[in-house]
Amino acid sequence: MEVLSLLESTFIVERYLFSTNQSGIFTCRDCRETQLLCFDMSVLGGFALKRIGVLTSGGDSPGMNAAIRAVVRKAIFHGLEVYGISYGYQGLINGDIKKMELGSVGDIIHRGGTMLYTARCEEFKTLEGQQKGIEQLKKFGIEGLVVIGGDGSYRGAQQLTKHGFPTIGVPGTIDNDIPGTDFTIGFDTALNTVIDAIDKIRDTATSHDRTYVIEVMGRHAGDLALWAGLADGAETIVIPEAEHNMEQILATIKRGQERGKKHSIIVVAEGVGSGMEFGDRISKEMNMETRVTVLGHIQRGGSPTGADRVLASRLGAKAVDLLLEGKAGMTVGIQKNELVYHPIDEILDQPHTIDQEMYKLSQELSI
């Protein structure tokens, strides 16, 4: 037991894995970093993975396939076996798991959606559901897991790590609402989809002298609305992170009319309210023809942009690297074009924020 004493003098023992007491989750007493370590009662060293799994969860986003491809090929490059789990945590509970080869991820890097499919799973939020999932992982001999998705997916990964199962999160969501990374997989593609739609709407708005309200996705985050609105020169951008005043919005439209402007574009994030409600009020109070376009799920589809393909490839490969290094309960990201990783616990505790300078700029340019 000398090795265990040495281990516990250096690390805080969070949990021994399963019932072997030969590997576990530990937090360094000095640097506070959580790691997965393995020992054989005589040698203390890194955890030698043999088999990992990968799943996608929550809403799909363009670039998820590129991330899956990176995880599979990076793992195989390092001599690991990889198992794909279909339909997210629901598929994990159901044992919808199959081995993946190099050819399994051929010709998918350019495709939207996710080849592993995705689903939301209320059962996995329960202890019983989590234990069912862990039993399936043990059944297939999977020793580490990469979870691609948003904050809900991260919460599942967090619970797996707490139960002693090493998991790494990869940010895949068009909302760009995951702290610890400048961009999430799918955001750039969705942004360009929104920009293309607004460009087309502006053409008809100009032709008919109409004001258009365009509702975009973003229940709790206004990144899509802010970036697209700035890129398309919207007169008003309404997002959850900033207070809006309907009187100011109406005043902006009126100022434009007074200088001869005959049309306006207003971009509204869905988390603020219904685009139809905004349109009805503008039409009523301004006595002007107003149209509303709800872009909806078109924002989630489509072939990922080059930026999303590269980002997904880098993040997916980094997730495998972290598992090989014995890391657990981490999420990967990119900040200032450098790959980074943070504890999932910290990421889930942080609120989403927007670039306030960018929001201020959007207001200055829409005078």
Catalytically active residues, by annotation: 175
Judge contact between 164 and 18, C-beta under 8 A.
yes
Are 143 and 160 contacting, i.e. CB atoms less than 8 angstroms apart?
A: no
Where do we find the tokens 């008919």? 208
Pairing of strands 44-45, 34-39: antiparallel
Closest to 178 in 3D by CA, of 61, 69, 294: 61
Name, in order, each residue with C-beta under 8 angstroms of 74's C-beta and a sequence gap of 6 or more: 316, 317, 320, 321
Distance CA 351, CA 180 (A): 10
Alpha helices in the chain (DSSP H): 2-10, 64-77, 88-94, 127-139, 151-162, 187-208, 223-231, 246-258, 275-286, 306-324, 344-349, 356-365
What single-letter amino acid sits at 222?
Answer: G
What phi-psi label fits residue 271: left (phi over 0), alpha (psi between -120 and 50 degrees) or beta? alpha
Q: How far is CA 120 from the centre of its chain?
A: 14
- What phi and psi values does residue 315 have, to the nearest 5 degrees? -70, -40
Which residues are CB-contacts of 59 (< 8 A; sequence separation ≥ 6)?
118, 149, 150, 173, 174, 300
Number of CB atoms found within 10 A of residue 32's CB: 9
